Chain A
Amino acid sequence: MNINIWTFLTQCAAMGVWVFLVAGLYAIVEKVLDKHYPEFLAVEEAGASQAPGTTPVAQPDPAKQA
């Protein structure tokens, strides 16, 4: 483990700025798309993907056998 605290903090700051930048850009894109093409970004309902009559969660995940 070799941590230089100042490098680490700069890295954190840079990555934080990056996340905000991406989030801001996406927010703008989202707004524009929602206004002109409302269906384009519509979220698929979790419930809609379930078969009628089943529990909210499908069968136990089989590959989860440990």
Chain B
Amino acid sequence: MTTADGAGTREAGVAREEAQLVALRAGDAAAFGELVDRLNGSLLRLARMYASNPAIAEEVVQEAWIGVIQGLDRFEGRSSLRTWCSRIVINIARTRAAREHRQIPFSAFDDPSAGAEPAVEAERFLPASDPEWPGHWVSYPARWDEVPEERALARETRDLIDAAIADLPPSQREVITLRDVNGWGADEVCNALGISATNQRVLLHRARARVRRSLERHLVPGETSMGQVDGGTAAFR
């Protein structure tokens, strides 16, 4: 078995996974309960990206768990348990979505350069012809650390982020959900979605840039219109 080059923490993680897999194969129901505790939430989030409603997402995840129970002997341990379980969820969810003739994320076949747009609106920068500062900020982005914490952590902000992610093109949505919402590593996301490291980075870049723009409009209203450099932060003092 080849493991990625890695630090001790990763090796400890691999050892833990192996122990868990041995317990699962031996029919240890407590180990299975722990696996459900650890993964159900993120699998559900994954399924929701493909499902037309939350009830279907729950069904998909349940079906996937049954697949996990039945497939444990076929699982070779080449990927993490989490990656393997996620692939089962993705397969079931995609099959169901296709049956319902709905558009489904398929990052593996997406051209990452399609629909390319700059991370930040072009008009936020001085033109290339500017004699002194070509391509530099017209006015600096605001410092969000001056936004009151209650505002940043408010339910409203959470909802806004969820809505911004839901609005993304499907392949960007898949990548940012796994990476930033679920907190997975880059390798794991490439593995689960079957995409290259470069493709993963490009999709993540676009997705984060768009979510940042939504947050900016929400946290610093009026920021996208041009203001002067030092006036930008005064609004929410």
- Mutual binders A and B: no
